[in-house]
Chains A and B, each alone.
Chain A
Amino acid sequence: MNKTFDFTIVDHIMNELGCKPSAIIAILQGIQEHYRYLPREVFPYLSKKIGISEARIYSTATFYENFSLKPKGKFVIKICDGTACHVRKSIPILERLRKDLGLSENKITTDDLGFTVETVSCLGACGLAPVITVNDKVYPAMTPEKTSELLRDLKEEL
C-alpha cells in the first residue's frame, strides 16, 4: 500500500457527509469526483473510519456502474445509447470516437489519461437525440463528423 497517500481530501469529504455506513455511496461519489476514480488506498481507510468491512465497501463500489477502480481520463465522454438515441444512430458516433482515440470496448481510457469513452443507457435528453456528454456537459444532435471536430477542440485543451 502506498504509505504516502494523502487522506486530507477523504477526511474532508467524510466530515461533510457524516461518518456513517449509509453515507458510503455519497462518500465514494465525492472521492471519485475528486480523483476521477477510487484509489485502492481509500478502501482500508474508509473501512477503519466508518467501521464496516472493506469487503462491504468494495461490494458497493463494484455494484454501481459509475464507480471506477481504474483512473479515468481528463475528459469523460459518455455516448447515450438509450432507445431514442439508438434509433437515431448513436452507434456510429461511438465507433468514430473509438477509432479516433484508438479505444475499444475493453480499453476505454487513452494511455495519456486524456479521454475515457463510455456508453450510458439514457441521459434523458431524448428530444435532442443522439446526444453525448463531456464531463456532464450535454452536446445535442451529434454526428460522427461533429464528434471528430469536438475531439479536436478538446485535444487542444488537454
Chain B
Amino acid sequence: MLKTREDLQKIRSKYASSLKAQTTKILVCAGTGCVSSGAFEIYNRLTELMQERDIPSSVELADEPHDETVGMKKSGCHGFCEMGPLLRIDPQGWLYTKVQLSDCEEIIEKTIRNGEHIKRLAYQKGNAVCKKQDEIPFYKKQTRLVLDHCGHIDATSIKEYFANDGYTALEKALFDMTADEIINEITEANLRGRGGGGFPAGRKWAQVNRQKQAQKYVVCNGDEGDPGAFMDRSIMEGDPHRMLEGMMIAGLACGASEGYIYVRAEYPMAVSRLKMAIEQATEHGLLGNNILGTGFSFHIHINRGAGAFVCGEGSALTASIEGKRGMPRVKPPRTVEQGLFDKPTVLNNVETYANVPLIILNSAKWYKTIGPENSPGTKAFALTGNIENTGLIEVPMGTTLKEVIFDVGGGMRDGKEFKAVQIGGPSGGCLTKEHLDLPLDFDSLKKAGAMIGSGGLVVMDENTCMVEVARFFMNFTQNESCGKCVPCREGTKRMLAILERIVEGKGEAGDIDLLLELADTISATALCGLGKSAAYPVVSTIKHFREEYEVHIFDKHCPTGNCQKLKMITIDPALCKGCTKCTKSCPVNAISGKVKEPFTIDQTKCIKCGACITACPFNAIKE
C-alpha cells in the first residue's frame, strides 16, 4: 500500500531495476486475436519448457531485483492480428509471427539459450526478411504513442506499468498541479475527443469543474459498437492502467470522486483486464480514499453493456449505467450539467483518457508538435477489409489516406483495385480515389462529408457493391435504432426498404431522390447522434457512386455481381450440347429447349440458385 509520494517513486524505481535485471524478455501477445489463435497455450508451453530445462525465468517482476532471468510476459495487442500468434523477443526487438506450439522448443534452445534468430518465424515479404518489429513496413510508418505499451509490456501487471513510468502523470497532477492547471494543459494541448465528435476535452472538463454540485462523475465510454473498430478494445486489454490513470486525472481536475467505465458485452477480455487493473490499483492505494495522503479520493466501477449500439451515445450510456433502457434524451441539459444520476459528468472515450497521461507528463507544447494544429496528437485506426495488412494502427493526425492504405496497410489484397474506404462506421461516409491525398483529421474529413468516428477504416476493392454496402449499414442502424423518436425509427425503416428494393432489382425511377429527401429529414430532426448520422453512408455512396445506383435501378444489373437477386445466369449457345442435364436440375422449370440443340433460361422464372451451373458437364452455363 503506497501512502506517500516517495512510496510511489520508490516502487517505480524498484520495479524498473527488476525489469532491467531481466536479460531477455519474451512477450507473448495476449490480445483477443492472438489468444484465439492459441497464444496462451504457447505461453504455458514456453514457461514449462524453461522450468524443465532449468532456465531461470519469472512471470512476475521480482520484488527484490536479482540475477539474470528471462521475463515471461503477456502483452497487449500488437495490432498485427493476422500474423498471430505473435511473440516479441526483447531486448533484440525481434518479432516472431504465426508461432505454433511445435516451435516452442526451438525458440527456447536457439533464441533463449543461444541468442540465435529463427528466420523461419520472422515476417517475410517477398525476399525481404524483417528481423526486428520496427523493420516491418506495417510498423515503420506508424507513430505509436497511445499504443506504445501495447505489445511491449505485460498488460496484466501493475508492477510492469510502474517499471515503465506508470502513474508518473498522476503523481505530477496530484502534487505539482492545481485543477485549473491540469485543465489548462489539456485545453492548451487541444485534445479532441477520440470517440468521433472531436469535441475539445479540456472545454468539457472546465465546464464540469465549474459546476457547483458536490457530487460529480467521470465516465469512460468503452462501448465501441461501430462494426469494424477495435481500437478501444485493444487499449483496455493492452494497457488498462494508462486509461485508469487518465480517468483519475480527469477526476482530480473536475472534482469527481467516482468513475464509471461502460464496456461492451462483446469484450469479455477487456472487462477482466480492467477488473484486474482496478484491483491492483486499489491494493496499491492508487484508487480508494485519501490517495497518497493528498485527500483526493477516487473509485472506479465497471458496467457491462448488454448489446445495444445506441448506448455509445452519451445520454443513453448514462441511462444504461443507471439501470434503465439505454435511450438518448433531449439536450440540453447537457451531460456536463446533468449527466449520470443527474449530476455533472465528464464523458470521454477510452482513447481520449489514454492520451491524458501523455499530455500531463510531456506537456501540451510537446503534444502539439504531433499532427496538424487543429487536431494535434495521433489517432488509432482499425484497418480492415480487402487490404493486405489488417490490424490496429496508430498514425499522427493528418496522415493521408494514401499513406495509411498503401504504406502501412500494404495496399490492396490480391492485387485488386482500390475502390473506397468506409470511415466512421454506420455514422460515417465513404472516401474514394479522389480522397487519397486527404489528410485524416477531424476538420478535413468533415469537409469531405465523412467523419473520423471512432476510427474504423474498412477498405473495399473493386468487387464491392456500394449499394449493398449502403444497405448493410442501413440495416445495422435500423436494427439498432432505439425507437424513441419517429424520424429515426420510421425513417430508417423506409430507407432500408427502398435500398432492399434496389438490390433486389425492383428499384424505380425517383428512388434516389426519395432516399436523399428522407436522409435530409432524418438528419435534421432525429433526436440523437445515431439518428442524425444514420443516413450518412447512403448519402455519401450516392454522392460518389450515383452511377452504380442507377445501373441497379434502371438496368437491373449489379456491376460487381454482389447482389444475388440481380445475377443473371445464361447458357452459352456455343458450348451447350443440349444434353438436358440442366433442365432436370432446375427446381423451377426455367430451362427449356430441344434435345441436342442449345437450351435457354427463362429469366422471369429463374431463381438464381445455380443448380444448373453445377449440373452442366460442358461449363456452358455462367453467371
Q: Which residues of A contact B (CB under 8 A)?
A: 21-26, 28-29, 59-60, 63-67, 81-84, 86-88, 120-129, 131, 136-140
Q: Across the interface, which residues of A come within 8 angstroms of B268, CB to CB? A: 136
Q: Across the interface, which residues of A come within 8 angstroms of B385, CB to CB? A: 83-84, 87-88
Q: B306 to A25, Cβ gap below 8 A?
A: yes
Q: Across the interface, which residues of B come within 8 angstroms of A67, CB to CB? A: 306
Cα A89 to Cα B390 with chains together (Å): 16
Among B222-230, B342-350, B584-592, the stretch in contact with A: B222-230
Q: B460 to A138, Cβ gap below 8 A?
A: no
Given contacts A122-B226, A122-B229, contact A83 B266 (CB under 8 A): no
What would be 12 A-B contacts, judged by CB atoms less than 8 Å apart? A21-B322, A29-B265, A63-B326, A64-B326, A65-B308, A82-B227, A82-B228, A83-B473, A87-B464, A121-B309, A124-B266, A126-B384
| B323 interface hit (Cβ, 8 Å) | yes
Q: Across the interface, which residues of A come within 8 angstroms of B323, CB to CB? A: 21-25, 60
| B505 interface hit (Cβ, 8 Å) | no
| B233 interface hit (Cβ, 8 Å) | yes
Given contacts A82-B228, A83-B384, A87-B385, contact A124 B267 (CB under 8 A): yes
Contacts of B10-50 to chain A: CB distance below 8 A: 32-33, 35-37
Cα A129 to Cα B265 with chains together (Å): 19
Given contacts A23-B323, A60-B324, A83-B227, contact A127 B303 (CB under 8 A): no
Q: A83 to B36, Cβ gap below 8 A?
A: no
Q: A64 to B304, Cβ gap below 8 A?
A: no
Q: A127 to B386, Cβ gap below 8 A?
A: no
Query: Which chain B residue lies CB-closest to A121?
Result: B227
Given contacts A26-B304, A128-B82, contact A122 B33 (CB under 8 A): no
| B558 interface hit (Cβ, 8 Å) | no
Q: Across the interface, which residues of B come within 8 angstroms of A140, CB to CB? A: 33, 36-37
Q: Across the interface, which residues of B come within 8 angstroms of A83, CB to CB? A: 227-228, 384-385, 422, 425, 456, 458, 472-473
| B382 interface hit (Cβ, 8 Å) | yes
Query: Which chain A residue lies CB-closest to B77?
Result: A127
Contacts of B223-243 to chain A: CB distance below 8 A: 224-230, 233
Q: A84 to B266, Cβ gap below 8 A?
A: no
Q: Among the interface residues B84, B303, B307, B425, which one has the most CB atoms of the partner chain A within 10 A?
A: B307
Query: Which chain B residue lies CB-closest to A65?
Result: B307
Q: A122 to B472, Cβ gap below 8 A?
A: no
Q: A29 to B304, Cβ gap below 8 A?
A: yes
Q: A66 to B265, Cβ gap below 8 A?
A: yes
Cα A29 to Cα B306 with chains together (Å): 8
Query: Which chain B residue lies CB-closest to A87?
Result: B385
Q: How many interface residues does B have (CB within 8 Å)?
A: 58
Contact with A along B468-488 (1 / 0, CB 8 A): 000011001001101000000
Q: Across the interface, which residues of B come within 8 angstroms of A22, CB to CB? A: 321-323, 341
Min C-beta distance of B339 to chain A, whole Å:
14
Q: A125 to B230, Cβ gap below 8 A?
A: yes
Query: Which chain A residue lies CB-closest to B230?
Result: A124
Q: B390 to A127, Cβ gap below 8 A?
A: yes
Q: Among the interface residues A59, A60, A137, which one has the most CB atoms of the partner chain B within 10 A?
A: A60
| B391 interface hit (Cβ, 8 Å) | yes
Q: Across the interface, which residues of A come within 8 angstroms of B99, CB to CB? A: none
Q: B37 to A64, Cβ gap below 8 A?
A: no
Q: Among the interface residues B36, B304, B320, B482, which one has the most CB atoms of the partner chain A within 10 A?
A: B36
Question: When the two chains form the complex, which single residue of B265, B458, B476 contacts A84, counting CB atoms closer than 8 Å?
Answer: B458
Q: Across the interface, which residues of A come within 8 angstroms of B472, CB to CB? A: 83, 86
Cα A127 to Cα B33 with chains together (Å): 7
Q: Across the interface, which residues of B come within 8 angstroms of A66, CB to CB? A: 265, 305-307
Given contacts A84-B385, A87-B460, A127-B384, contact A122 B306 (CB under 8 A): no
Cα A124 to Cα B32 with chains together (Å): 8
Q: Across the interface, which residues of A come within 8 angstroms of B553, CB to CB? A: none
Question: When the two chains form the complex, which single residue of A26, A81, A124 contacts B224, counting CB atoms closer than 8 Å?
Answer: A124
Q: B228 to A125, Cβ gap below 8 A?
A: no
Q: A128 to B81, Cβ gap below 8 A?
A: yes
Cα A101 to Cα B264 with chains together (Å): 29
Min C-beta distance of A30 to chain B, whole Å:
10
Q: Across the interface, which residues of A come within 8 angstroms of B305, CB to CB? A: 64, 66
| B354 interface hit (Cβ, 8 Å) | no
Q: Across the interface, which residues of B come within 8 angstroms of A64, CB to CB? A: 305-308, 326
Min C-beta distance of B227 to chain A, whole Å:
3
Cα A140 to Cα B267 with chains together (Å): 15
Min C-beta distance of A32 to chain B, whole Å:
9
Q: Across the interface, which residues of B come within 8 angstroms of A123, CB to CB? A: 32, 266
Cα A86 to Cα B426 with chains together (Å): 14
